[in-house]
Structure 1
Amino acid sequence: MRSWRRFVSDITIPKLNNNDSTYLLLEWLADDGANVEADEPVASIETSKAVDELVAGQAGALRQALPAGTRLSPGTVIGRILPPGVPDPGPRHGEPESALRPATPGDDVPLPAEAEPIVTEPARVLMEQLKVTPEQVRGLGKKLVREADVRKLATTGQGTRLHARSPVQAAVARTVTTSHSTIPTAFTAMRVTVDAVLAEARTLTRRMRCLVGLPEFVITAIAALHRDFPLFFASDVGEGTLAEAAGACVGVTVDVGKGLYIPVVKDADGLTIAQIIEAVTAYRDTALHGQFSEGDLQGGNITVTLHTDPDVVVAQPLVFPGQTCALSLPGIRRELHLDASGEVGHRSVVDVGISYDHRRVNGREVIQFLGALKGLLESPRDLLGAEGASEGGAQGGGG
């Protein structure tokens, strides 16, 4: 029997990020015993910020080991794929005999009666904290009840609304705590005139039939500076040594009321403005209508935080652990100024800010970086070249 093991493919919980020590087995996407194809999604797992799918490593029959709603550590085997004709080999060496028996409810993950919903362990704990009753949970009509579902029902007998911190916000809290406790930051802001780049954004909006704004141009400009300012994209490899990044992977904040996410435009310095616009548009759509995967959120080596309410004058972002700096983009505002002939005119400006790890770079380099960014944004034809510049767009203005 043991000789069959080499034909069996385990389905194992991977390590998806450094913020979480456990993940939730959200649901099985194929039935126990069903025949699946190689690379077919068979289960979904939920981290603090994303939902990812696990795929079959080979074709065969799926054997589930654990029920949906179980919270698991990375490395846990949740099931196996048995090729046609291969018998179940039983537990591997060192595993308990019950390791791959048909999944049954246990004390840690309660599974109610057949007619009852599955309540995840975090949801059960939250029910106790927030006084949510089983009757309220049943009223949801859901097969699987998660923390977010319980949170919606969280009211006391007096009707006071309680707000438990969501998994997404808990992950944000951990990042903020780590950043403030380990990174000595400094901050600088520089004013940028954006009339010319806004004109180009309007042109690209019409051309590409999607909303294009200043953030896409800022991402493009930052990526263009990767070669000349490599330390702003570098990672710390220990003992005071920084490793240059192969490309500019630019994270951008997205928050539509469902939590703060920072998806990453991968290798943005190798993309055209059109490709960057498509990537950012897709992330906005995901934030509104879907769920991010861990792949969307990983790999950033510099971050842009958006604070684009017109009344926000300046914003100081935190530096994300592992990165050198983060740039903030506040609201655009109109101001009076004197032109070259001494006449009073109007212009659109924004104060681009940068928080930076003062152990890695100094104020002089930061001012040079911001000055180069300012130059690209105020002369967008230089930034875009023939590929993206409009034929009749406005010329770049001075700061």
Structure 2
Amino acid sequence: MATEIKAPTFPESVQEGSLATWHKQVGETVKRDELLVDIETDKVVLEVVAPAAGVLAEILKAEGDIVLSNEVIARIEEGAEASAPTAAAAEAVAEAPEATESGGLINPAARKLAEERSIDVAQIVGTGKGGRITKEDVVNYKAPVAASVVAAPTAVAEQVLEVGDRVERRVPMTRMRSRIAERLLEVTQTTASLTTFNEVDMTALMDLRKQYKEEFTKIHNGMRLGFMGFFVKAAVEALKRFPSVNASIDGSDIVYHGYQDVGVAVSTDRGLVVPVLRNAENMSIANIENGIYDYAMKARDGKLTIDEMTGGTFTITNGGVYGSLISTPIINPPQSAILGMHKIQERPVAVNGEVVIRPMMYLAMSYDHRLIDGKGAVQFLVTMKELLEDPAKILLEI
């Protein structure tokens, strides 16, 4: 009995996806719940698993193809054995292994990856059935240190590259990266974006963290006490005082949100993602730190769901972890403002008429001037500064 493999149901915010990687080939045995294929959307990479055990009989969508919500992408023959391929499998010519120039066999996905990495497939030793070169062989291939011969993807003869040659490599932009580029360009064209700056003396916050970090870690099962928990709590309090910063524009209407869903920007190999801490106003600092840690681990492993990155009323991004001293963050639509944290750096400042050295951090808030006036933006950032320089105010909400 043939079972259809369908793409997942995409939410309304995701129109389509592109088929990234097939982990199984036609004719191979699959187990129930075994990973079959990755589908990349403009937000996350979705994994499609086998609904039943059997043999992958037919692949209807190749790598790179566009897939829609619930579209049939393959079929599994339940109960079949890999040694007895189905008729449908025999007809899947597009997925059959191709012949290399040296007479060997290579999977289409492996050839595509080899071309992207400018690797000569003749130098790769295949570990697949019958010496076939698989995608894993290309990933694990390491060029000899002394080798200077590189096969150009469109050239027939090999070209010797001398030291100092200018080599370029062209690869297609991922769907996520392409969508990020579109959204950032859209923001610059459709919002009246403006950025205001301030600086925070981090002395009190750093002293508080130093005093309690070990006890915090012990009580909260090894959770590390960072600065982000304090910044999120300070932002929540400031958002309550300045509702326009927590609002958004919907056509000709202004939507004021009676809750604070704070997005925290996380950098991944595929691009920047913004998972959301729901109802951050009800979360303790420990819960915030735990939530951010969980999101960071999921982002690293590509396990974030679309629901976890949908929505949000305000965003915080921390370029300081990469050494950024000051920047102008770009608004994350449909939100109206975003807060940028930066590197903590000791600088001479005037305190009570004396020059002292203090750990200082620049804060930057970009906001949509169509909704937020300059006065409100400046006062919001000043409130953040006051709360962070006197952390007791965060806990007392004063």
Unaligned runs of 5+ in 2: 80-87, 144-149, 153-158
* Partner in structure 2 of residue 162 of structure 1: 169
Q: What does 1:149-228 correspond to in 2, within 5 Å?
A: 157=159, 158=161, 160-162=167-169, 164=171, 166-167=173-174, 168-206=176-214, 207-208=216-217, 209-228=222-241
Query: Compared with structure 1, are the counterparts of its residues 135 and 305 closer, same or farther at alpha carbon in structure 2 (3 Å cutoff)?
Result: farther
- RMSD of Structure 2 on Structure 1 (CA): 4.6
- Kindly provide the amino acid, as one letter, of the partner of residue 192 in structure 1: V
Report how far residue 218 of structure 1 moved. Answer: 1.4
1:366 paired to 2:356: no
Report how far residue 161 of structure 1 moved. Answer: 4.8
Report how far residue 35 of structure 1 moved. Answer: 7.8
Query: Compared with structure 1, are the counterparts of its residues 166 and 110 closer, same or farther at alpha carbon in structure 2 (3 Å cutoff)?
Result: farther
> How many Å separate the matches in 1 of 2:275 and 2:283?
16
Deviations 1:293-348 (A, max 9, x none): 243433333222222169643210111232211111111122333434x4443322
> How many Å separate the matches in 2 of 1:376 and 1:32?
60
Tell me if the contact between 2:330 and 2:366 (Cα under 8 Å) persists in the aligned partners: yes
Report how far residue 182 of structure 1 moved. Answer: 2.0
- Kindly provide the amino acid, as one letter, of the partner of residue 231 in structure 1: S
Counterpart selection for 2:44 from 34, 50, 72? 50
- Kindly provide the amino acid, as one letter, of the partner of residue 23 in structure 1: S
Report how far residue 48 of structure 1 moved. Answer: 5.0
Normalising by structure 1, report the TM-score: 0.70
Secondary structure at the aligned position of 1:260 is classed as strand
Q: Which moved more, 1:371-380 or 1:137-146?
A: 137-146
- Kindly provide the amino acid, as one letter, of the partner of residue 171 in structure 2: A
> How many Å separate the matches in 2 of 1:320 and 1:339?
36
> How many Å separate the matches in 1 of 2:114 and 2:15?
22
Report how far residue 279 of structure 1 moved. Answer: 1.7
> How many Å separate the matches in 2 of 1:166 and 1:136?
27
* Partner in structure 1 of residue 337 of structure 2: 325
> How many Å separate the matches in 2 of 1:280 and 1:302?
15
Normalising by structure 2, report the TM-score: 0.70
Query: Compared with structure 1, are the counterparts of its residues 253 and 135 closer, same or farther at alpha carbon in structure 2 (3 Å cutoff)?
Result: farther
1:14 paired to 2:9: yes
Tell me if the contact between 1:226 and 1:269 (Cα under 8 Å) persists in the aligned partners: no
* Partner in structure 2 of residue 233 of structure 1: 246
Secondary structure at the aligned position of 2:106 is classed as coil
Counterpart selection for 2:288 from 262, 276, 287? 276
1:78 paired to 2:73: yes
Report how far residue 139 of structure 1 moved. Answer: 5.9
* Partner in structure 2 of residue 251 of structure 1: 263
> How many Å separate the matches in 2 of 1:103 and 1:226?
61
Report how far residue 144 of structure 1 moved. Answer: 4.3
* Partner in structure 1 of residue 388 of structure 2: 377
Query: Compared with structure 1, are the counterparts of its residues 136 and 216 closer, same or farther at alpha carbon in structure 2 (3 Å cutoff)?
Result: farther
- Kindly provide the amino acid, as one letter, of the partner of residue 314 in structure 2: I
Deviations 1:1-45 (A, max 9, x none): xxxxxxx997343335857743216346999897858xx977543
> How many Å separate the matches in 1 of 2:280 and 2:373?
25
1:337 paired to 2:320: no
Report how far residue 378 of structure 1 moved. Answer: 1.8
